[in-house]
Amino acid sequence: MTSIPEPFSDQGVSGPRPLVKRYGALVRLAHWLNAVFLVGMIASGLQIYNAYTHFGIRGDLLPVPNPLDGHPVPNWARLGGWLAGGLNWHFLLAWPFVITGLVYLAFLAISGEWRSLVFRPRDIGPAVQMQLYYLKLRKEHPSQGKHNALQKGAYTFIVVLGAISALSGFAIYKPVQLAWLTSAFGGYELARYWHFVAVWLFIAFTLLHVSLVFLVDPASLRGMITGWYRGRFPSHD
């Protein structure tokens, strides 16, 4: 019979918390490699976008939200210098990004670690409580295992976003050979648009992720570098 964990509290804890192994070498390597690949792909993708800052054919643009419509992306945010350079960087980084992601997913599946990361319907309630805690509307930190419900939602979301980003990228890259995939995204221009939206969702996720690491659990950054963790929260579910 599984016991129900108590709400998290620092009370009653004396002395330093034990140093425990939290992240394996493969997880840490995949995390940092994909962080580098992602930054490069976003910058080179913005360079590609800069060659034509609209969605739709000339004279018949798609009625989709685009704050950058008609506006060039700043030089500091682009990689490649021009269209061909951006394409070269994008293709150079795309395959390592996809392969690293697939290796990481395979590790999660084989090791069973996916169980602590997947967001399930039963996590909706705890996610609401965790959000109330972050908004200072709840005093006690809700109970959690290695990852809280909001973290599970974020990790599940980022895997789905990565799949959409990769598939829409293939739809743009090979629109004739993969016509069925391009059609599934609504055609070439819409596939290009969804790929563009994915970029900004990646950026938003990264900014939120980094902010919460420093604000809520800075020890997890050290853990992701060294593998060892001594912080506020459990290291296992």
Q: What is the pLDDT of residues 9-31, one digit of tens each?
A: 444 444 567 788 888 899 899 99
Instruction: Please report the DSSP string for 13-81 in residue order.
Output: --SPPPPEE-S-HHHHHHHHHHHHHHHHHHHHHHHHHTTS-SSEETTEE-----TTTT-PPPGGG-SSS
Higher pLDDT, 227 or 9: 227
The answer to whether 93 and 36 have CB atoms below 8 angstroms apart is: no
CA distance 55 to 217: 40
Q: What local confidence, expressed as pLDDT, does residue 11 receive?
A: 44
Instruction: Characterize the bridge pairing of strands 56-57 and 60-61.
Output: antiparallel
H or E stretch including 229? strand 228-229
pLDDT above 90: residue 6: no
Q: What local confidence, expressed as pLDDT, does residue 60 receive?
A: 87
CA distance 9 to 4: 15
Higher pLDDT, 145 or 105: 105
pLDDT above 70: residue 119: yes
> How large is the average pLDDT for residues 52-78?
90
The band of 234, judged by pLDDT with boundaries at 50, 70 and 90, is low
